[in-house]
Structure 1
Amino acid sequence: MAECTVLPGLFGICIQGLLFVIVCGVLVFKKTREPERSWRDWGLDSSKQIMGSGWIHILNLFCSTKLDAILPQGDQCEWYWIQIMVDTTLGVLVEYAVLSLLLRLLEGIIENGHYFDEVEGKLQFSFKKYTEQMVLWLFVVTVMKFGMVFLMYAAATPLEAVAGYVLKPFMDNARSKLVVVMILTPMCMNAVQFWIVDNFLKAHKDYDHLAEDSALS
């Protein structure tokens, strides 16, 4: 059985670069399906997802190596695969619940998807609002990540058994296994995740139209 690691030099860097392109492509495709949202607001919404995904990706790499070192079963690629599957299913529900709770607690302070102040009938970008939302979202994904890592540690044996079964055809080829773990699986699972998460990160349509009208005036 070939040992698979998530940071295998230049090949791993190229794979992670391709994954970033795929992530951006999913978000662009979703925008083309929503003509009512301005490209400006879409870019601000998407930047939160990209930053959050980048932060989770770093945490996943770190946690994969640590789980591989601490737990007797599995390797780094298997733990990375497990993290992707857990993050994009149960993790999305946790993100929605935590974000909804925080927005209720911060009602009147933070309005998700709103990045502009109205000044003399026009909307002006508010760096303060954008920064608050970015920090809030990074906090949400961090809470989710620690929760999922605790779950993986507690249920390590059954989760690793599932990963081993799914990845069994690729066990003898570390590169093939790495492609499945870091390209094919994220490409499918993150596409669904980004689509769903974008729906609760963006603002209501009435605000989108107001922002677009201001940009055109």
Structure 2
Amino acid sequence: MGECKLLGGAFAIAVQLVLFVTTLAVMYGRKRCGPERSWPVFLLDSSKQYMGAGYIHLLNLALAEKLKSMYSNSDPCNWYAVNLALDCTLGVFFTWQFLGLSHVILKMLKFKLSDFEVGRYDRSERYSQEDGQKAGGVAVAPYFKQLMVWFCVVTAMKLCMLAIMMGLEGDWQALSSFLLDWLNPYPKAKLVAVMCVVPAIFNGLQFWLQDMFLAAKTTSSQLSAQRGG
């Protein structure tokens, strides 16, 4: 009986590509069903989520392997599933709270808060023709500021989730074993379940919820300005 391996091998790489395509489909669904935004603004909003999710995905892979080495009888795929489930449920609440806290801190430090207003990149509201670089009807300077804040926010969230996971390590191991160990005789099927099926559910929920507080409330005049018209 083989072991479920998160890293290495063509099959594991193919599974991660399927995961990437699945998340693209989820975000496209959000574009169709979510608040009206121009494509440039939607792509900027979505890219923050994708880069943050990619960063957390790499951390989760590393943590799963580290936790396996710390707890000899544990399974890295189980640990990855625990990481993902926490990030996409309780982690979304922490992310929302930390995002609000970040604006309080930025205000205390006397930064220009309009640059950090989530989802706002409209040149016509705050920028002259000389400012930033044009990306459709938007200015990208505030985007990079918001992106830096977003990375700080998701890092803080991940540290909190790690503390919760380590504090209840035995409980998480027992729960993940109960739910996933029946797949142990089929390591490839388990990898697909952990890297495709579970993320399709949890990442889909996470992306939709996070997009609700990352997307700006846009008026018709602002939408026209974003489109360059």
> Do the structures match in fold with TM over 0.5?
yes
Please report how far the alpha carbon of residue 70 of structure 1 lies from its aligned counterpart in structure 2 after TM superposition.
Answer: 1.0
Structure 1 residue 160, shift from structure 2 partner:
0.6
Letter in 1 for 2:57: H
Q: Is the 8 A contact 1:37 1:209 kept in 2?
A: no
Q: Distance in 2 between matches of 1:120 and 1:81?
A: 47
Provide the rounded CA distance (Å) in 2 between the counterparts of 1:98 and 1:35. 23
Structure-2 residue corresponding to 1:104: 104
- Contact in 2 for aligned 1:48/1:134 (Cα 8 Å): yes
Match of 2:150 among 134, 137, 150: 137
1:63-82, aligned counterparts within 5 Å? 63-82=63-82
Between the aligned partners of 1:199 and 1:106, the Cα distance in structure 2 is 22
Q: TM-score, normalising length from structure 1?
A: 0.92
Contact kept? 1:116, 1:124, Cα under 8 Å: yes
8 Å contact kept, 2:137–2:228: no
| Runs of 4+ residues over 3 Å off in structure 1 | 211-214
Q: How does 1:35-114 map to 2 (within 5 A)?
A: 36-107=36-107, 108-109=112-113, 110-114=116-120
Measured in 1, the distance between the counterparts of 2:203 and 2:106 equals 28
1:131-210 matches, within 5 Å, as: 131-206=144-219, 209-210=221-222
Aligned-residue RMSD, C-alpha: 2.1
Distance, in Å, in 2 between the alignment partners of 1:94 and 1:33 is: 25
* Counterpart contact for 2:40–2:138, Cα < 8 Å: no
Report how far residue 216 of structure 1 moved. Answer: 4.3
- Amino acid corresponding to residue 89 of structure 2 in structure 1: T
Cα distance, 1:209–1:38 mapped onto 2, change above 3 Å? farther
Identify unmatched segments of 5+ residues in structure 1: none
| 2:3 aligned counterpart, secondary structure | coil
Q: Report the CA distance between 1:78 and its aligned residue.
A: 0.6
Q: Give me the whole-angstrom Cα distance separating, in 1, the residues matched to 2:227 and 2:138.
A: 10
What is the 5 A alignment of 1:4-43?
4-34=4-34, 36-43=36-43
Is the contact made by 1:116 and 1:129 (CA closer than 8 Å) also made in structure 2? no
Amino acid in structure 1 at the alignment position of 2:123: D
Rounded to whole Å, the distance in 2 between the matches of 1:152 and 1:211 is 42
Residue 77 of structure 2 contacts residue 191 of structure 2 at CA under 8 Å; is this kept in 1? yes
Say yes or no: does 1:116 pair with 2:122.
Answer: yes
Change (3 A) 1:205 1:214: closer
Q: Distance between the aligned counterparts of 1:76 and 1:34, measured in 2?
A: 35
Q: Is the 8 A contact 1:112 1:133 kept in 2?
A: yes
| Distance apart, 1:153 and its partner CA | 1.5
- State the AA in 2 paired with 1:19: L
How many angstroms does 1:106 deviate by? Answer: 2.3
Give the % identical residues: 35
The alpha-carbon deviation at position 124 of structure 1 amounts to: 5.5
- 1:71-98 CA distances to partner (integer Å, 9 max, x unpaired)? 2342110100110111111111110110
Q: How far has the Cα of 1:34 moved from its partner? A: 3.1
Moved more, 123-132 or 175-184: 123-132
Letter in 1 for 2:7: L
**1:115 partner amino acid:** Y
Which runs of 5 or more residues in structure 2 are unaligned?
130-135
Q: Distance in 1 between matches of 2:221 and 2:80?
A: 40
Alpha-carbon separation, structure 1, partners of 2:221 and 2:83: 38
